[in-house]
Amino acid sequence: MNLNLNNQSAKLSPMPDIDIEKKKEEQQKRNEWLKEKMELRHKQQIQFIMTQTNYDENEATQKLQACNYDAMKVVSEYLGIAPKKDEYAKKTKNQKVFSVIRDIMDSGSRNFMMQQDRAKKLEEIKKTMEMKKQNEQIEQTESQRDKNNIRIMKEKID
């Protein structure tokens, strides 16, 4: 039995070496492909910077390296556009979620208060309009009463 195990291990040992070599070759091919892709992307970024600015290739490369290979940042700096500060940048996801919820709740509360104020003002306007109508009616009844009184007095005099 011991003899069988030695024979089996001798038969299996060449196969793993071939597999390891194939994996290393595949990994090298992947690495080369990635390098080519990165170089192509780098060249595209430099071309983009050169078309959007007056930089030459060397200057564009230096600026790109200075901005951590962010082409948009290079162009923004050239155009003098200040980067926007993200108010949620230094918060955890949970804090960001609750900040957004709080903002929504605050705006809803503001809207509700504004609606309440509008309703109150409308109610006041309605009351003043009713008061005016009542005053006009009172004035009309008084003027009619005065006219009636004057007519009655004229009749008594006649």
pTM for the predicted model, two decimal places: 0.43
Residue 49 contacts residue 74 (beta carbons within 8 Å):
yes
Three-state DSSP class for residue 91: coil
Sorting pLDDT into bands at 50, 70 and 90, what band is 10?
Answer: very low
Structure confidence at residue 158 as a pLDDT band (50, 70, 90): low
> Which residue in 80, 50, 52 sits closest to 62, CA to CA?
50
What are the sequence ranges of the domains in the chain?
1-84, 96-158
Q: What pLDDT sits at residue 80? A: 87
